[in-house]
Amino acid sequence: MASEDVVGKSTGESAVTTIVNLAEEAKLAREGVKAPGHAILSVCKSLVAGGVAGGLSRTAVAPLERLKILLQVQNPHNIKYNGTVQGLKHIWGAEGLRGLFKGNGTNCARIVPNSAVKFFSYEQASRGILWLYRHQTGNEDAQLTPVLRLGAGACAGIIAMSATYPMDMVRGRITVQTEKSPHQYRGMFHALGMIYRLEGFRALYKGWLPSVIGVVPYVGLNFAVYETLKDWLVQSNSFGLAEDKELGVVTKLACGAAAGTVGQTVAYPLDVIRRRMQMVGWKDAASIVTGDGRIKAPLEYSGMIDAFRKTVRHEGFGALYKGLVPNSVKVVPSIAIAFVTYEIVKDILGVEMRIAD
């Protein structure tokens, strides 16, 4: 989703991730906003900083990310993964160390451009919304409200998620396939080609709708909660955490963790539905999805609403939160690391494309 992710975010991310799940600090001007910078070098620096942050954060929690997806899509009549610890042990025993990181290469290939575009889009959206808000209110000292921050974050998440969605769809399938799968995707490009030839172009966007919907609460709340917490801590100097109107890395990490927790909890059911829709139409699906030969095949879904209805009817409301525990364990450090890494890399590169202090 916006939980990578978007929802789950990545998811979301997810949905997003996606996501997610990830924000550049919108630094508000006290005396106005600098003119937008259009220098190519500044753009590249901003994108590189976002890409590094996204790739590093997802790699750090790759085993938990894979387990989350396996729990989300496994056949309810053939349970192989019963929890976080048991699931990780099962993957290790059956597939070894490489199994814990299966799909991580594809995830990084997706999350780097996704995060880069998301960070950059948020910065531009924040600047534009703030300019429009000040113009309409006539108050040159006005600052972004939490609602406006949420809007900027949601716009950035939707743009980034839509631009890279086929890669996320492919990543989901590669993640769940095992050595015993009837047909193996050999990599991201092979999977993209196979899905396009066998299922058509639209198949690359299966689950796109719940991902877009999930971006709003997941990415939007990530940005809004993170920025609001930071502003409150700086202005009130609660607990003496702000020094010279700047927060330390640990405090920023805590703000990012709180933001990720709120976003992923609200959007998580949409991330589950997205993953299940991505498996529909997969002729040679992995056994984790289809079950053994004597087990019932996975349900087919005609759309998002149908997926919600059948999931709750056949597995109960709790099925919408399958994989929430490993996702909660991973999303907090993932989002927090992404926030802090972006700011550190941004400072190292001397990124100037931001709203000035």
63/254 Cα distance (integer angstroms): 22
Return the pLDDT at 77: 81
Number of H helices, E strands in the chain: 11, 2
Instruction: Give the domain extent around 236.
Output: 207-279+290-321
Asked whether residue 62 carries a pLDDT value surpassing 60, the answer given is yes
pLDDT digits (tens, 9 = 90+) for 183-200: 778 889 999 999 999 999
Is residue 344 very low, low, confident or very high in pLDDT (cuts 50, 70, 90)? confident
Residue 275 lies in a domain: yes
pLDDT number for residue 292: 64
Cβ atoms 46, 253 nearer than 8 A: no
> What's the whole-number average pLDDT of the chain?
78
Query: Which pLDDT does position 85 carry in this prediction?
Result: 93
Distance, CA of 294 to CA of 4 (rounded, Å): 35
- Does residue 258 sit within a domain? yes
Per-residue DSSP letter, 243: E
pLDDT category of residue 354 using cuts at 50, 70 and 90? very low
> Lowest-pLDDT range, 5-14, 24-33, 41-50, 311-320?
24-33
18 within a domain of the structure (yes/no): no
118, 89, 92: which is closest to 20 by C-alpha?
118
Cβ-Cβ contacts under 8 Å for 177 (sequence gap 6 or more) = 184, 185, 286
Q: What is the C-alpha to C-alpha distance for residues 121 and 287, in angstroms, rounded to an integer? A: 39
Range of lowest pLDDT (63-77, 114-128, 192-206, 233-247): 233-247
- pLDDT score for 137: 87
Residues in the chain: 357
Q: How confident is the model at residue 24 (pLDDT cuts 50, 70, 90)?
A: very low
The whole-number pLDDT of residue 294 equals: 52
Q: Quick one: what percent of the chain has pLDDT higher than 90?
A: 26
Q: What is the pLDDT of residues 143-175, one digit of tens each?
A: 888 778 878 877 887 888 888 899 999 999 999
Spatial CA neighbour of 285 closest among 184, 168, 169, 165: 184
Express each pLDDT in 48-58 by its tens digit.
Answer: 877 788 788 88
Bridge partners, 222 (sequence order): none
Q: Which of 201-210, 237-246, 299-308, 318-327 has the lowest mean pLDDT?
A: 237-246
The answer to whether 169 and 206 have CB atoms below 8 angstroms apart is yes
Q: What is d(CA 13, CA 4) in angstroms, rounded to the nearest whole number?
A: 4
**What is the C-alpha to C-alpha distance for residues 60 and 16, in angstroms, rounded to an integer?**
18
Choice between 354 and 221, residue whose per-residue pLDDT is larger:
221
Q: Which residue has the higher pLDDT, 145 or 42?
A: 145
Alpha-carbon Rg for the chain in angstroms: 20
pLDDT value at residue 352: 58
pLDDT higher than threshold 90 for residue 272: yes
153 found inside a domain = no
Q: What is the 3-state secondary structure (H, E, C) of 33-95?
A: CCCCCCCHHHHHHHHHHHHHHHHHHHHHCHHHHHHHHHHHHCCCCCCCCCCHHHHHHHHHHHH
Are 9 and 218 contacting, i.e. CB atoms less than 8 angstroms apart? yes
Please tell me which residue, 190 or 39, carries the higher pLDDT value. 190
Pull the structure tokens for residue 27. Answer: 């630094």
What is the structure's pLDDT at 293?
A: 57
218 inside domain: yes
Section 232-260 average pLDDT: 76
Helix (H), strand (E), coil (C) string for 164-226 = HHHHHHHHHHHHHCCCCCCCCCCCHHHHHHHHHHHHCHHHHHCCHHHHHHHHHHHHHHHHHHH
Tell whether 67 is covered by a domain: no
* Tokens encoding 19: 């996501």
Closest CA to 221 of 20, 38, 34: 20
> What pLDDT was estimated at residue 237?
73
Q: What angle do CA 101, 104, 109 make, to 5 degrees?
A: 165
239, containing H or E segment: none
pLDDT at residue 170, rounded to an integer: 92
Rounded to whole angstroms, the Cα distance separating 38 from 36 reads: 6
Q: Is residue 330 part of a domain?
A: no
As a whole-number percent, the residues of the chain with pLDDT over 70 amount to: 81
Is it the case that residue 325 has pLDDT exceeding 70? Answer: yes
Distance of CA 104 to the CA centre of its chain: 14
* pLDDT exceeds cutoff 50 at 22: no
Residues 19-26, mean pLDDT to the nearest whole number? 36
CA–CA distance, 325 with 265 (Å, rounded to integer): 10
- Average pLDDT, stretch 20-46? 48
The half-sphere exposure of 8 on its side-chain side, counting CA atoms within 13 A, is: 29
Residue 311 within a domain: yes
Domain count, the chain: 1
Contact, 18 vs 5, CB < 8 A? yes
Whether residue 153 contacts residue 124, with contact meaning beta carbons closer than 8 Å, is answered with no
